[in-house]
Amino acid sequence: MTKLIETPCDALVWAADLHDAERLLSTALERFGDKVALATSVSAEDQVVTDLLCHLTQRPRIFTLDTGRLPQETYDTIAATEERYGIRIKVLFPDCAEVRAMVDEHGLNLFHKSVELRRRCCYVRKVLPLRRELATLKAWITGLRREQTLTRAGVERVEWDEANGLVKINPLADWDTQQVWDYIREHDVPYNPLHDRGYPSIGCAPCTRAVRCTEELRAGRWWWEAPEHKECGLHRADQRR
């Protein structure tokens, strides 16, 4: 019998027998109702999770972060996803005053100056809007996979998000890239056309480039930084800084 989370200590126990992604999501919807939401960047993984959710409920709670610097292809994918599934994805924006103060002090391209300033940019444009939305939830869903990068190698299917005080559900944690794309092709899931142009991982336009087939999946994100630094803060335990 599945054990549902009642305390942070139960987080890793809850999904012990829920190896199937759809079953895990179904259980999450039963447990948390409208207090669970998918945070999507319309990555290939997030599109798979969106498809799974839309087969489980007609009104999935899904939101995305618009940093103000996304590629047009990402906006087009959001629109295509909404049309395909008949849903509306909630778009979260950074606080205008916070962005203005940051840019006034450090310039538009502060992310190239240091890891600290790049993380500051991500914090203002991503982490703070995310944190405000998570405050309305009991659990959130992501498309994180262990294979994606060194910093995600320890991802579990269900975790306790200590920084935000809620459950974090990663239904594709143990999927590999082939499984993701097999699912997309089999179910005709909309995906970002930048994936076909050598972008396995897509973030803000100035901080993302295409990669060679021999490079790791997230090599194109903040490519000027060391691999162990390549997180924006959304999935870091120390994000409340």
Which residues are catalytically annotated? 232
Q: What is the DSSP letter of 52?
A: H
Distances (CA, A) of 129 to 32, 70, 90, 198: 22, 15, 12, 29
Residue type at 115?
Answer: V
177-202 burial string, b = 16+ CB within 10 Å, else e? eebbeebbeeeebbbbebbeeebbbb
| Rounded-to-integer distance, Cα 94 and Cα 99, Å | 7
Closest Cα partner for 21 from 48, 61, 57? 48
Bridge partners, residue 129, by sequence: none
| Rounded-to-integer distance, Cα 230 and Cα 239, Å | 13
| Rounded-to-integer distance, Cα 146 and Cα 176, Å | 8
Give the DSSP per-residue string, 95-117. -HHHHHHHHHHH-TTGGGT-HHH
Residue type at 135?
Answer: A
